[in-house]
Amino acid sequence: MCDVRIGFGEDAHGLVTGHPLVLGGFEIPESPVGASAHSDGDVLLHALCDALLSAFGLGDIGQYFPPSNPNYAGLDSQVILQTVQDHIRDAVGEVQIVNVAGVVTLDRPKLGPHRVQIQRTLAEVLSLEPGHVGVTFKTSEGLAPRHVQARVTVLLRVEASRGSAG
């Protein structure tokens, strides 16, 4: 029987000067602001990680990477993603990502010119075809000018279930 799952995740960070702005593994060039975060503050990857975990009821990345742990300072979010994928494989079995859809809310800088690069980088990180990753952009209309936020849905197919539980 085909086991298909949907995951949904959300993440937000404050914006500060002097930090890189990384989205989906792609660093926005010459951004005047970046995410204030313990790790590299990649809201797209963090929301994706929570989406992956949520599809299987496995909690969220705060449990696995508590911000209070100094070992995670400056951590590359692709390491977080890899850890999450390993954890899911251990808990569930082989899982194939079918497609990813994300929304980033940010007032400035404008992200439209970087859409192709963000989608392409995220697809590469996930070993997906570029057409299976979509990222759209919204502004907060000035309501949250000092925040960057992402929401991500992911469709998953469980290839080889671990055990017969289900």
Q: Which parts of this chain interact with Zn ion (CB under 5 A)?
A: 11, 46
User: In which residue are the tokens 């392409």 written?
Assistant: 120
Beta bridge partners of 5: 156
Give the shortest CB-70-to-Zn ion separation in angstroms: 17
For Zn ion, the closer of residues 105 and 158 by Cβ is 105
Helices (H), 7-111: 43-54, 61-64, 77-91
Q: For residues 28 and 33, what is the distance between their CA atoms, to the nearest angstrom?
A: 10
Nearest residue to the partner Zn ion, using Cβ: 46
Q: Tokens for 63?
A: 């449990």
Residue 10 is classified by DSSP as E
For Zn ion, the closer of residues 111 and 158 by Cβ is 111
Give the shortest CB-39-to-Zn ion separation in angstroms: 7
For Zn ion, the closer of residues 48 and 158 by Cβ is 48
Give the shortest CB-156-to-Zn ion separation in angstroms: 21
